[in-house]
Chains A and B, each alone.
Chain A
Amino acid sequence: MKGAEAMMKALEAENVKVLFGYPGGQLLPFYDALYHSDLVHILTRHEQAAAHAADGYARASGNVGVCVATSGPGATNLVTGVATAHADSSPVVALTGQVPTKLIGNDAFQEIDALGIFMQITKHNFQIQKTSEIPKIFRKAFEIAKTGRPGAVHVDLPKDVQDNELDLEKYPIPAEINLQGYKPTKFGHPLQIKKAVELMKIAQRPVIIAGGGVQIANATPELIKLSEYAQIPACTTLMGKGVFPEEHSLALGLVGMHGTQASNYSVYESDVLIAIGCRFSDRITGDISTFAPNAKIIHIDIDPAEIGKNVRVDIPIVGDAKAILKDILIYLMKKEIANKTEWMENVKKLQKKSLPIMEFDNTPIKPQKVIKEMMNAIREVDPSLTNTVLTTDVGQNQMWMAHYFQTSAPKSFISSGGQGTMGFGFPAAIGAKFARPDANVIAVTGDGGFLMNSQELATIAEYEIPVIVVIFDNRTLGMVYQWQNLYYGKRQCAVHLGETPDFIKLAESYGIDASRVEKPEDINEAFKTALNSGKPYLIDIIIDPAEALHMVPPGGNMTNILFPERQEPTPKAQCFSEMKKILNPKV
């Protein structure tokens, strides 16, 4: 058979059901083989969206997501999406077409050094040089993507490699693969685990920070057990949102730059900090010297390089979060735990202080109100909110959602954390819908971010993918405008979207139903309609552009939370007239 056919066989062997991609000249054999296969291919309208969709699929399912793009510009269009997936440890395999091997290095048409470009933004990458290597390399790519700390893997496919003949009996798809330089650790070191248990036992003011690693390891049951047994309150990072039910009495909410008071103060005051599958990014720690200053830190992570990278660690435990928590529980549950009445009271007080105010009846609508109504409407079809998957874009919409939307199921809140990629949310929802076809899949996005991949309306219309898009429409690049107000003397530069398109007409032009909401009392109805329609749907919600998020300044002490005042957008008119002069020099 042809190499490309073997690729289909390899994908099927990896249990791949759906690919997100965009064809091109150097992928013609691949797409021809795809035509003859049972694999489903979703043609996105931009390669970046294909990568985000594969990523959304991976995050919602825990399985590998696959995207495909042709050589040259196709490959470079994938870059943002692949980097986004990799930054959040999402298992994505990205396949790119490449010019025939005899042309590589000669600057042929649409040739690009994809191997070099993807090298630094993936966990590993390959260029297949001989057709006979296909079975092994595909196996390796998937194995590397999904094991250990998951990540993005890229495979470059020269055209002749796809075209040449391959005898699959001679070069079978291996079931097991031995990668000499790659042996992830699963189980934690028993001695370290015992040390950690001793600390947890005597801790007076312990706190857990749960990150994306808990999500990946499916360690929610163990996490809850640990928290309940040892009376340790838990906060989550953005990547960890969903791993600890937010209605739980020991839940503290989001931690870090946009974190809750409960989380940030608890971490600051803690004497033992248990970080699980989190990488202590600057968005979590702020100024390292004021981060958990009196705490002994236990760090559980599958990636040894994360330990000690950003903060000093007292007890490192390398391995899979689920396996380690299980072991910890075995030891811990034999022990008496120190009494923490005082700490629990303190935590309760902080939780009370952090209770968000979400009831507003003003116009323009407050984002808090949107989220409240949104939850109410979802609860009518999904009372526990566990059958709903949310994706967000990047900016204020993302942080509002992270804050106010109560999640209680893992893998149900999907957001770009490590890269903070605008344009992510909507295409990621498309992928998530394929992972969770029965769930309500809702993409929440800002108007700026939505415009970065709004062309995917064509995709959901064409394939009738019932994804709901919710635009938090404030006619500004909200998050940037907020920072300019706070840190740059209110000088608003290049943040006004002004005349955004009429999103309703835009949706309708693709054949998608849509409604615009301008009054708080209409929010519920719009969501109800969308949720019951079973079809793609867009809701454009005109929100108050002056609403700002509370935050800790970058690099600051995480307990110095700033509650910015309202600030109206003030478009700078003069820039407009200067521009007119360039366009009409004669006038």
Chain B
Amino acid sequence: MEHKHIISVLVLHKPGVLQRISGLFTRRWFNISSMTVGSTENPDVARMTIVVQGDDTVLEQVVKQLNKLVEVIKVTDLNSKKSVQRELCLVKVYAPTEDSKSQVIQYANIFRGKIIDLSTETLTVEITGDEQKVNAFLDLVRPMGIKEIARTGLTALMRGSKILKSNKA
């Protein structure tokens, strides 16, 4: 059955690693929904959170092929673990009147979003949450007119005190 899989990948923080990984996905026809990269507590290590669409066989291959890469330190399928997931979304909403502006502000408050920019015609809201929450907010403001959206894609960590350590050490 097709699923979305959230995969957390620790990689050496080196130039070319992103290309290696994205090249692998292209070549093997793995279907990426999103990919985020950023630094970690260790300056030599970066974390990638990759959301892949596919059945369990695809997931198994994604994990195994990623593990083959020399610069990959650890690959974990977060679906099998309890995890926290967040995405950041910036959305510019059309709100030319005072009424519409206060409406957006109200929605943003409910969703614990922040207004981070304002113009005569628009409001820009910053919203974080899991995918569902972000989607729900966007659905809410869509009728008012969404001018522009920027989403980061999911980033995630395991819940609790457990951490990912290299399985290759």
Q: Which of B24, B60, B61, B71 contacts A181 (CB 8 A)?
A: B71
Judge whether B168 and A304 touch: CB under 8 Å.
no
Within 8 A of A (CB), among B1-59: 11-12, 16, 19-20, 23-24, 27, 57
Q: State which size class the interface on A falls in.
A: 10 to 19
Judge whether B64 and A124 touch: CB under 8 Å.
no
Judge whether B57 and A181 touch: CB under 8 Å.
no
Most chain B CB inside 10 Å of its own CB: which residue of A123, A305, A309: A305
Cβ contacts under 8 Å, A180 to chain B = 12, 73, 166, 168-169
Smallest Cβ distance from A220 to chain B, in angstroms?
27
Per the bound structure, the CA–CA distance linking A511 and B140 in Å amounts to 83
Instruction: Say yes or no: A182-B23 contact (C-beta < 8 A), given A144-B70, A303-B68.
Output: no
Give the residue name and chain of the A residue nearest to B168 (CB).
A183
- Interface residue B67 (Cβ < 8 Å from any Cβ of A): yes
Judge whether B65 and A305 touch: CB under 8 Å.
yes
- Interface residue B69 (Cβ < 8 Å from any Cβ of A): yes
Cβ contacts under 8 Å, B16 to chain A = 115, 119, 127
Counting from the closest, the 6 A-B pairs by CB-CB distance are: A305-B64, A183-B168, A124-B70, A182-B70, A181-B73, A120-B23
Within 8 A of A (CB), among B70-100: 70-73
- Interface residue A308 (Cβ < 8 Å from any Cβ of B): yes
Cβ contacts under 8 Å, B68 to chain A = 303, 305
Cβ contacts under 8 Å, B60 to chain A = 308
Judge whether B19 and A116 touch: CB under 8 Å.
yes
Smallest Cβ distance from A166 to chain B, in angstroms?
21
Judge whether A182 and B65 touch: CB under 8 Å.
no
Q: Which of A119, A123, A183, A303 contacts B19 (CB 8 A)?
A: A119
Within 8 A of B (CB), among A249-269: none
- Interface residue A179 (Cβ < 8 Å from any Cβ of B): yes
Per the bound structure, the CA–CA distance linking A144 and B69 in Å amounts to 11
Give the residue name and chain of the A residue nearest to B11 (CB).
A181
Judge whether A181 and B23 touch: CB under 8 Å.
no
Known: A304-B64, A305-B67, A305-B68. 19 other contacts (CB 8 A): A116-B19, A120-B24, A124-B69, A124-B70, A144-B70, A179-B70, A180-B12, A180-B166, A181-B12, A181-B71, A181-B168, A182-B70, A182-B168, A303-B68, A305-B65, A307-B64, A308-B57, A308-B60, A309-B61
Per the bound structure, the CA–CA distance linking A116 and B24 in Å amounts to 12
Instruction: Say yes or no: A181-B70 contact (C-beta < 8 A), given A115-B16, A116-B19.
Output: yes
Per the bound structure, the CA–CA distance linking A325 and B168 in Å amounts to 24
* Interchain residue pairs with CB less than 8 A apart (21): A119-B20, A120-B23, A120-B24, A120-B27, A179-B70, A180-B73, A180-B166, A181-B11, A181-B69, A181-B72, A181-B73, A181-B166, A182-B168, A183-B168, A303-B68, A304-B67, A305-B61, A305-B65, A305-B67, A307-B64, A309-B64
Judge whether B70 and A119 touch: CB under 8 Å.
no
Per the bound structure, the CA–CA distance linking A124 and B12 in Å amounts to 14
Q: Give per-residue flags for A100-137: 1 if the beta carbon is below 8 A from chain B beta carbons, else 0.
A: 00000000000000011001100110010000000000
Give the residue name and chain of the B residue nearest to A115 (CB).
B16
Cβ contacts under 8 Å, A183 to chain B = 168-169
Per the bound structure, the CA–CA distance linking A97 and B68 in Å amounts to 27
Cβ contacts under 8 Å, A309 to chain B = 61, 64
Per the bound structure, the CA–CA distance linking A115 and B69 in Å amounts to 15
Per the bound structure, the CA–CA distance linking A48 and B27 in Å amounts to 23
Q: Give per-residue flags for A147-182: 1 if the beta carbon is below 8 A from chain B beta carbons, else 0.
A: 000000000000000000000000000000001111
